Amino acid sequence: MRMMAGNLFIILFIGIFTLFFMETTKEMSSAQSLQTVLDDAVELEQITLHSNSLILDRDGNTISDIFSAENRIYLPYNEIPDMFKHAFLAAEDQSFFDHPGFDMTGIARAFIVNIQHQSIEQGGSTITQQLARNLYLTHDQSYERKISELLYSYHIEQVMEKEEILELYLNTVYFSNGVYGIEAASHYYFNKTAHELTLAEIAFLSSVPNNPAHYNPLTNSDATHERKEWILAKMKEQDYISNDDYEEALDKKISLSNFEKSDEYPDYITYVYYELEQLIAKEEGYMQQLKSANNDEARQDIEMKLQERVQHLLASGITVDTALDPNVQSHAVKTINNRLSSTDIQGAVSVIDHEASEIVAMTGGTSYEKFNFHRGYQAYRQPGSAIKPLLVYAPLIDTTKMSSSSLIDAGPIQRGQYEPQNFGGAVYGKVTLEEALKNSYNTAAVRILDMVGIEASFNYLDHFDFQKITSNDHVLPAALGGLSEGVSVHELTQAYTIFATNGIYTSPKAIRGVYDMDGELLYEWPRKETEVWTNDTVNEMRKMLGKVITEGTGRRARFSTSGYLGGKTGTTNDYYDLWFVGSSNRYTTGLWIGNDNPSSLYQQSQNHIHTQLWRDIMAGIH
């Protein structure tokens, strides 16, 4: 009795509703339009759909698919294959382009079926009604929801074109297993684009949304195939396909090829996320707000808003184009892991194409997992003598015009309570700058910093990307890498690119550009060139850094090449950190080795592990 009353109510409502909107359109001059009434009664919220984002390598290959709750790849109407449109129109709504949002014939037919079964077996829903349900309403099987659905559907038809409605529907319809829209479904079930699918595959996929649980291809493919045949019959009935097409599609074998989410190169991808946040912060003013924040609470609030902005962008379907070279990245990771993963020692590498000023590879530690602590850019350690070319020797040559053959006093030096010692307590006299650098004499480095002036030398470092060097570091021990917080291996590698670019510094980046779903450029790093040193200074430094590898402390880093090689070792007190940073004709590569909880690497230093690892990495990418 209750079911009968409900059925009678829905018929009565449909009749009244139909008469209401027909009569209203005739009396526009004397009463409010139905559209005005609906504008007040039915609120269509702004539609925000999540869409997958991508991170690409330098060749345009996907290295990371980014999606969370909704796996969706949005397709605009003109990119949706016609056969997908025809399949859904034939199966779900044959009068779509003629009705005002609901189909009276379909509703009546569903009503008769429901009367026969004394339950709500069919809903008679149009594509517009299904869209209204997917975007604004629930999926409750009730007549109250059905009435709301009719109102929303009619309103949608008044404010959207038919093509817009079909586009939204085909991008929001659910295909089971967390997949929304035809493009994501094509990728997920067949590992193809929607345009690459056969007619049989299109009909197969189009079967799922009618009842995603029942027609789930991964758990109930027999039912999916049955509905596929029904859809093909409907498409033939509506003249969307010929009889030959129908017969061929029926015989076509369906082979699922489940999509595996791309998430390669976790070391590099983790850094890309960091750089993306920095890029957005710079371009949208968050960085300036953080600098101007008066307290920690204000700073945390700004950082939270920045994080929300980044997540919003990642959910909008952006593409992040990067400079990653997969071969270089894989080689660097493999080399580090092969040498260190069986030990407690950690290591990190940064590889930069200094001609393009692009980061082509970066590692975060042995056996690195995505989003863990990243030793490439988050570990700040004392650089030891690896800082000398930047802070000591280049400033000296640039300010005095001395050359690599100029003499410097490497004898004992004491300034106040500070009296640096050379390795093994050795004492030297007058030596050339080349000899002092290639053999890493500490007394010479401290004397040079004192000669040039601490402030003058640190002014040069201001041009680079060191984040944690402050005025507290403006002391003589800095000549030997004695910094309060230190530097990351990536920062030091970035700075060393100056020796390969004629004294012009351009901050190397991983991200080439960030694009929206339509391919429009959203963000890119501005290319800013800063002249730090003269070309003459760089030429002298390159000669001396070359001697470090051929005759000095970096001899184990040498490998056979017809081009240039130059670099500098670094060892901190008690052998806690081992460094080598240097360049070839194309790449500048930095390597750090140490323990997360600092402890002596004396034996590893004696075995020249850092210079040999640098050699193995660089030799493998040339």
pLDDT digits (tens, 9 = 90+) for 394-438: 999 999 999 999 999 999 999 999 999 999 999 999 999 999 999
DSSP, res 389: I
Using one digit for the tens of pLDDT, what is the confidence trace for 167-195? 999 999 999 999 999 999 999 999 999 99
**What's residue 156's pLDDT?**
87
Catalytic residue among 51, 53, 92, 584: 92
DSSP, res 51: B
Is 92 annotated as catalytic? yes
**What's residue 21's pLDDT?**
46
Stretch 64-77: mean pLDDT, rounded? 89
Is 485 annotated as catalytic? no
Q: Where are the alpha helices (DSSP H) in 44-122?
A: 82-92, 104-117
Percent of the chain topping pLDDT 70: 87
Residue found under tokens 């000023």:
357
Asked whether residue 20 carries a pLDDT value surpassing 70, the answer given is: no
> What is the band of 37 on the pLDDT scale with cuts at 50, 70, 90?
very low
Lowest model confidence (mean pLDDT) among 38-52, 364-378, 451-465:
38-52
Using one digit for the tens of pLDDT, what is the confidence trace for 529-567? 999 999 999 999 999 999 999 999 999 999 999 999 999
* Alpha carbon distance 582, 618 (integer Å): 10
* Alpha carbon distance 133, 148 (integer Å): 9
Contact call for residues 363 and 348 (beta carbons, < 8 A): yes
**What's residue 394's pLDDT?**
98
Catalytic residue among 385, 404, 440, 488: 385
**What's residue 24's pLDDT?**
41
Asked whether residue 583 carries a pLDDT value surpassing 90, the answer given is: yes
Contact call for residues 404 and 382 (beta carbons, < 8 A): no
* Alpha carbon distance 216, 88 (integer Å): 17
Asked whether residue 30 carries a pLDDT value surpassing 80, the answer given is: no
Asked whether residue 204 carries a pLDDT value surpassing 80, the answer given is: yes
Name the burial class of residue 363, with classes exposed (0-12), middle (13-18) and buried (19+) by CB atoms within 10 angstroms of its CB: buried
Asked whether residue 451 carries a pLDDT value surpassing 90, the answer given is: yes
Sequence-ordered list of residues with C-beta below 8 angstroms from that of 311, at least 6 positions apart, any chain: none
Q: Provide the phi-psi class of 438: left if phi over 0, else alpha when psi is between -120 and 50, else beta.
A: alpha
Mean pLDDT score of the chain: 90
Higher pLDDT, 144 or 130: 130
Using one digit for the tens of pLDDT, what is the confidence trace for 208-238? 999 999 999 999 999 999 999 999 999 999 9
> What is the band of 155 on the pLDDT scale with cuts at 50, 70, 90?
confident
Asked whether residue 87 carries a pLDDT value surpassing 90, the answer given is: yes
Lowest model confidence (mean pLDDT) among 110-114, 183-187, 196-200:
110-114
Stretch 372-388: mean pLDDT, rounded? 98
Lowest model confidence (mean pLDDT) among 39-53, 232-246, 411-425:
39-53
Using one digit for the tens of pLDDT, what is the confidence trace for 315-374? 999 999 999 999 999 999 999 999 999 999 999 999 999 999 999 999 999 999 999 999
Lowest model confidence (mean pLDDT) among 80-94, 256-270, 347-361:
256-270
Asked whether residue 569 carries a pLDDT value surpassing 70, the answer given is: yes
Stretch 291-302: mean pLDDT, rounded? 92
Contact call for residues 593 and 610 (beta carbons, < 8 A): yes
The full DSSP string for 543-599 is HHHHHHHHTSTTGGG----SS--EEEEEE-GGG-EEEEEEE-SSEEEEEEEE-SS--
**What's residue 514's pLDDT?**
98
> What is the band of 19 on the pLDDT scale with cuts at 50, 70, 90?
very low
Least Cα distance to 125 among 97, 153, 156 occurs for 153
Contact call for residues 324 and 265 (beta carbons, < 8 A): yes
